[in-house]
Chains A and B, each alone.
Chain A
Amino acid sequence: MKPVKFDYLPARDGAEAVRLLTEHGDEAKCIAGGQSLGPMLNLRLARPAVLVDLHRAEDLTGVEESRDAIVYGGAVRHADFEDRRVADAARGMLPFVASRIAYRAVRNRGTLGGSLSHADPAADWVCVMTGLGATYLLRGKKGVREVPAEKFIHAAFMTELAPNEILAGVRVPRLSESARWGYYKFCKKVGEFSQATGVVVVDPERGYCRVLVGALDSPPVPLEPVAEALAAEGPTAALAVLDAAVDTALGDYPEVNRQLYKVAVRRALARIGATR
């Protein structure tokens, strides 16, 4: 299938993108890597009259490093993380995750901001950025506002973004030297969407610990009892409360699915030792 007719407007920078989106209102949609929107255009499920292309916007493709955090432009590509063309704030976690997103062809074009804005609960960045406690920088007409990752996604494919806002950047706090992380996703085959994702980030120096289960029908869910046990007593204690925590958090899911979620988090926990 081929898309319905649309006008294609490349934006030079984030400000121009916002101006174009404001000008064209509901008729306009942003495109960056096009790895999700492209098929939806071809299937005629998405029918925008105007496409505002962000992928060459100069201020969206860069990276700003500071002592405590790194801000990644929204149009930084998955492959930029995988190939370490951009600095890694998370002690190996970002390249590790990026190198497992779909297939290389997707990673060559797909972007961080595009993936987060699309807000597919199964997407890797959606789970990882929430796990790292990232902050999203939303640029609108009145400038930039900051939204914590866990507040950004309202429901599957629904976000905090106003129609004329773009996800201009993502601020990821730097993990300290003693921090550890674990990430596991279960896919039917290499490159497919995750069916169950587990994210563990523990950073004692910053007093930070988060355990998430993702690839749900909704945004990732924190497993607080597991995180508390992990922070207080370590992985063995965390494992001991894991199954009950998943059963409580995901009581509505069928047994087979809950089993996969438990496995994903368990295996993410098992890997934190290896990422010290």
Chain B
Amino acid sequence: MNKTGIGARVRRLEDDRLVHGRSRYVGDIKMPGMCDVAFLRSPLAHARIKAVNKPEGKESRVLCAADLDGVRPIVAESTLPSYRVSEHWPLARDKVRFVGEPVAMAIGRNRAEAEDLLEEIDLRLEALPPVISPTVSMADDAALVHEQWDDNMFLKLSVGQDPANARDNADVVIKREYRTARQVMNPMEGKGVVAWWDYRDGQLVVTSSTQVPHIIRNGLSRCLGIDESLIRVIAPEVGGGFGYKCILQPEEIAVAWLAWTRRKPFRWLEDRREHLTAGANTREHYYSITAYADKRGRVLGMDAEVTVDVGAYSVWPFTAGLEAAQAGGNLPGPYDFREYRCQVNAPATNKPPFTPYRGVARPGVCFAMELTIDAIAREVGREPWEVRAENLVPADAMPYVNVTNKHYDTGDYPGSLMRAKEAIRFDEVRERQKTPEPDGRLIGIGFATYTEQSAHGSKVFAQWGLALIPGYDEARMKLTPDGGVEVRVGIQSIGQGLQTTLAQVASEILSIPVDRIRVLMGDTGTTPYSYGAFASRGIVMAGGAVSRAAEALAERIRVMAARPLRCAPEEVRLEGNRVHGPNGSLSFAEVGRIWYLRPDELPEGDRHGGLEVTEAYRPKTDNGVFSYASHAVVVAVDPQTGKVELLDYVIVEDAGRVVNPMIVEGQTIGGTVQGIGTALFEEVLYDDQGQPLTSTLADYHLPGAAEAPHIRIQHTESPSPHTAHGIKGVGEGGAIAPGGAIVNAINDALAGLGVELNRIPATPERVLTAILGARSGKENAS
């Protein structure tokens, strides 16, 4: 057994440098003569730009849209029916469309000096009516966010068919409205970019905190109008991405343009206030759901409307339509029912451009679906777990094509729920609830089950008609002269431990231990093409490419070793960090030595291709592979204050074959804590003029260590038949279910008070208001 291969609990190779603060982020990079850039951002949500007057004598240090010669707007295309493109200029032209939109930039020797300059710019705006919500945006007399459109809709789609049979045959009809708050992703490291001109290579070097260096190069080439060969994008250490850094940023274009035109180094680093205002760009969903069920709670069909507040512009390359379209497609989740219709709306508003965040749409749809299942259970008077289990796609139905044509490959969804119920000690919790708690709090238990479509293939993206369709990822692999391995991949690590897991995949095939394997990534100048790290695709796509490359390198090694081992290449085995023939063995260093240092030992006319290979990979079936999990949580709700404490949290997850269980646990816990933020804390608030009210971390609350419960995780493994080694993606999963599971538990705790919450975050104020409302409702009724 290979101690560092697939399945081994290898310690993360990244952590030593990360926990000691020794790595290099964008903010650590210093270049001689580097200037700092600060952005003047719109103070109004919606306004016409009348003038941007620069301070006298400092004109060359202040730039506005008109100065950016040759720059083109960000335009994200899609062939989805009804979809409209927006033009997003890196610095606003004519109009500003959200508070925080960049209007001008100033250059200083340091950030403070650049900010001093911003204060001297005289920005003249004429306020326009702010479009601050989907309701305002979709009203007949709404002001237009984009005046060349005839309404505010980025996208309006109808998915599926009228569930007429379900409606006619239903014993139970459940109607609910759900809402999730706008959020900010809050990676520890914000965005940042340092760009300079490299005279030796003749290239514009853009070092950016990004998840997707190769596609940023595509995007910069489009928006700057220069050849890709003139651009090198480097992602250094990235301190969290979560989706925030998987799109082309206006600031990247503006700073790259400065370096390109002025041939000098420029830097911009996002600060937390910029992040909390201009980065308030995700999660805000509105649901209206009618569910039809029989008298045992078996779901017959569903009629839904999903509206996503997608903000002012369409992000490149994923568009303003992706989140809403995903919501419509993913709402049925892990459930087995055959009638479904969903109206999908993506209205433009005067808020920052919507960007997909860890889980993409699914935290919202899971919340809506899981609360609906519990509502059905209450209506038919059965336990929610029971109704849930009976509605989940059963294990013997796999592979299963669901009502929105998702191809569920493998798994036992009801099995994961039952294991979670066991692990959370459901019966004990129900027993405990019979006696009042000494502190007066109310105990509740809740479940949520979801599927996580990971590693979307090209077919999935092609359905959305994006201009850029992710598919193949590539890996390059080299045996070094001393018998070590270098792996070069275009994917980027954003904290998910890919250097470790990709090394484990290579180790599995080559039998070389991971400490002899370097994984180098995040640089278009040195790595082969990858679409980057998003959509839980890394370990499937880049892992698959590494697997292919390792097989190809192994073959080259076998050929090279066959002669000294005096056997045929097919008789050579790689095992235990050595190269074995039937009559002896070599070290990998001896193989490397022959090729690199002593080619004279090779026969004349030898046509060996060398010990470096590049391979590309995509899964056999390109529909994405489905991980899944069940979350179970026990809460204590203080009915006096509305405060919720998580007493116990269990996750039973299945990500196919697991490369490194510790990393899966880390990803799951991290995602779950973010989901706890979604469920209980995080909410961007605006006033009626579209001014953000949560512009510091004193106002926008993130969960901290004290709010994270001890999370107990159980692994199950249903390998995918479609991917290398049966691996599935798992990076997003944790973030999907907490909203549904926690609010189901709160509603379980408060059932006796007649309270049902349908909105997150479940802040103390929201919970307490609901309790007081139910109490006064009862008093009025009596």
Contact = CB atoms under 8 A, between A and B. Distances in A.
Q: Do A and B come from one complex?
A: yes
A255 B772 contact: yes
A43 B681 contact: no
Interface stretch (B110-118, B400-408, B602-610): B110-118
Contacts of A195: 764
A2 B116 CA distance: 9
Interface in B25-70: none
A188 B641 CA distance: 10
Interface residues of A, number: 21
A190 B706 contact: yes
Given A188-B764, A189-B701, A256-B772, A5 B706 contact: no
A38 interface: no
Interface string B685-720: 000000000001010010110110000000000000
B765 A3 contact: no
A43 B701 contact: no
B273 A43 contact: yes
A5 B119 CA distance: 13
Contacts of B115: 1-2, 44
Contacts of A263: 640-641
B763 to A, nearest CB: 7
A5 B640 contact: no
A189 B641 contact: no
A98 to B, nearest CB: 17
Contacts of A189: 681, 701, 703-704, 706-707
B271 interface: yes
Interface in B239-290: 271, 273
B769 interface: yes
Contacts of B704: 189-191
Contacts of B662: none
B696 A2 contact: no
Contacts of A4: 112, 116
A148 B696 CA distance: 34
Contacts of A44: 115
Contacts of A272: none
A193 B698 contact: yes
A189 B644 CA distance: 10
A233 B641 CA distance: 28
B586 interface: no
A260 B768 contact: yes
The DSSP consensus for interface residues of chain B is: helix
Contacts of B110: 2
Given A189-B706, A191-B706, A1 B273 contact: yes
Contacts of B643: 186, 188
Contact of A256 (B273, B696, B765): B765
Contacts of B763: 188
Interface in B112-152: 112, 115-116
A259 B639 CA distance: 11
Contacts of B641: 186, 259-260, 263
A26 interface: no
Contacts, number: 52
A267 B111 CA distance: 48
A5 B696 contact: no
A3 B112 CA distance: 7
A269 to B, nearest CB: 14
The DSSP consensus for interface residues of chain A is: loop
A256 B271 contact: no
A259 B772 contact: yes
Interface string B13-32: 00000000000000000000
Interface residues of B, number: 24
Given A188-B763, A193-B698, A255-B772, A2 B706 contact: no
A273 interface: no
A120 B111 CA distance: 30
Contacts of B640: 259, 263
A25 interface: no
A186 B769 CA distance: 16
Contacts of B764: 186, 188, 195
A263 B110 CA distance: 49
A5 B112 contact: yes
Given A39-B696, A188-B701, A263-B640, A256 B707 contact: no
Nearest to A260: B641
A143 to B, nearest CB: 37
Contacts of A188: 643, 681, 701, 763-764
A192 interface: yes
Contacts of B701: 188-189, 192
A259 B768 contact: yes
Interface in A167-199: 186, 188-193, 195
A2 B772 contact: no
A249 to B, nearest CB: 19
A189 B772 CA distance: 21
B173 to A, nearest CB: 33
A193 B701 CA distance: 11
A26 B110 CA distance: 28
Interface string A1-42: 111110000000000000000000000000000000001000
Given A186-B641, A188-B681, A189-B703, A256 B111 contact: no
Interface string B93-109: 00000000000000000
A220 to B, nearest CB: 19
A105 B640 CA distance: 31
Contacts of B707: 189-190
Nearest to B696: A39
A128 to B, nearest CB: 21
A190 B705 CA distance: 9
Interface in B630-658: 640-641, 643
A3 B641 CA distance: 39
Interface in A228-276: 255-256, 259-260, 263
A3 B111 CA distance: 10
A50 B761 CA distance: 42
Contacts of B681: 188-189
A192 B703 CA distance: 11
Contacts of A190: 704, 706-707
Contacts of A3: 112
Contacts of B698: 192-193
Nearest to B765: A256
Contacts of B271: 1
Nearest to A266: B640
A16 B285 CA distance: 58
Contacts of A191: 704, 706
B423 to A, nearest CB: 27
27 contacts: A2-B110, A2-B111, A2-B115, A3-B112, A4-B112, A5-B112, A5-B116, A43-B273, A43-B696, A44-B115, A186-B641, A186-B764, A188-B763, A189-B703, A189-B706, A190-B704, A190-B706, A191-B704, A192-B698, A192-B701, A256-B765, A259-B640, A259-B641, A259-B768, A259-B772, A263-B640, A263-B641
Given A5-B116, A256-B765, 13 more contacts: A2-B111, A2-B115, A3-B112, A4-B116, A39-B696, A188-B643, A189-B704, A190-B704, A190-B706, A195-B764, A256-B768, A259-B640, A259-B641
Interface of A: 1-5, 39, 43-44, 186, 188-193, 195, 255-256, 259-260, 263
